[in-house]
Structure 1
Amino acid sequence: MAPLVLRTVAETAAWAESLRRSGRRLALVPTMGYLHEGHLSLMREGRRRADVVAASIFVNPTQFGPNEDLSRYPRDLEGDLARCASAGVEAVFTPVPAEVYPPGFQTYVDVMQVSQGLCGARRPGHFKGVATVVTKLLCLFKPHVALFGEKDYQQLQVIRALERDLNLGVDIVGMPTVREPDGLAMSSRNAYLSPEERHRALALSRGLSAARELCRNGTRESSALVGAVRRELEAVGLREDYVELVDATSLTPLSAVIPGQAARMLVAAFAGNTRLIDNQPIGD
């Protein structure tokens, strides 16, 4: 069954309020569209955790820098709605930018600590845009649970922080990265890759796996683990943006994997002009 398409804040608020009054539990999956299996896995998990699943499809202009790919970001609303239907989504919010940011809009959400470094340092203002639009969506829908992928790991930690700090009362669920059979993390931006670039892009997941294997074999120092990832990037000519070992919650850099402390290895690199990110847990 095709999902209900909601285009305005007013009709979305009315739909969500009616759902709450009926006593049903709501899951929300915010997206920028061009949906793939990673997004659909969030929607299916939402079905397991709630009575009704809603999604948003909105290419959020405030999280793009002036030289980034807002105008060419891939879009396929008709296909996305069909994919939402296949995953059991009942309503999809698809606003135009002026509906989300009307004339006179001046309120932004800025999560301070976990948005620093990593993608936050390379994409100034990006997480301010992410935090603002996600806060608006959570306040609009008032879902019981909202689901996000771990591929955008720093984004997930930013959203967890804003939900906690603003007392929004939403269960923020992070779901494992969904990968292609060869290990490439699924991403809407993979559509930009030529066949040769896509083949080289496998160095990100290959490097992360090499670092995890080193750690399992007893290597704990950040320099050695980061070096394992860098070697894979360099071997195929990918341009590194960053490779960092960080605390899995605070995202502060670690000099070594410490037993009992959850850690993540995060990587960003360019295949041609396409910036790709990936991450994996490392250590205990």
Structure 2
Amino acid sequence: MSTLHPDDELLSAALDGEEEAAAAHARTCPVCRGRMASLQAAAQAVGEPVAPVAAPVRDAAVARAIREVRAAASGPSPAHRAPRPRALRRWAPWVAAASAAAAAAAVAIPVVMTRVSSHPLSASRALKSPSSASPPVMDGGDLGSLSDQVVLRDTVRHQLDAAAGAGTPAQAAAPNQSGPPNQSGPATGSPSGSAGGAGPSGPARSATAGAAAGAGANPSPASSSQCRGPAQQYGGAGLGTLVYAAAVRWQDAPAEVLVFRVPGGSLGYRLFVMARDGCQLLVVQSF
């Protein structure tokens, strides 16, 4: 079982009641509980209402703006006034009225904005527009044997970046679908060996994937995932669409790697490692 602490994005969502897994972890983890307390204090500070503008101050500002507009419209004395087209003089009263209204609106803005959302952290995430189209699920193939969370994240990130650069996620999928079937290599290995083949087109990566395919590895994770539903339950209502699926032996246990988009999040992806036996959550990361 992984001892990874949830990041600030997950803890913030837990404060909003969206991440049950992160909230359950924080109840037993002093470090995460302290971090949640800091986030809650910051949210309360941001959510305090702005002090309203006093009526005399507002009225004085409006009167001053009207006086300035009228003085500018009247212009200098006739002896020094430059010739002006008649059409401009005809519209001067309308310009003065519009300027006065704009000045009054500018003074009234702080009063209108006194109401602040009770969940400022959630509001900041909701303002960011999600992707307009759901991308197809990328098949990451068999990642081999891994136990390092950084290596896992970098491997998945490299595959997603390569697929985005190619512009065709379905064709830039797992190397075990395009590599020669007669290549041989260790189906499992040390974490450092798996890290060396993290690149989506590296020879070590292709050799590992080819050996896994020749040995009768699991079928395509993107089409045969049995832990997608449990992962979505762990992710909560704010979790987006599934964009990546791969097989892995995580700390010698057969598992699935599932990556979802996070609409409106500061970190665009949420990664889950789910044990194939019972779909138990092993790792969760955001990147």
TM-score by length of 2: 0.22
Please identify the structure whose Cα radius of gyration is greater. Answer: 2
> Which structure has the highest strand share of the two?
1
> Which structure has the highest helix share of the two?
2
TM-score by length of 1: 0.22
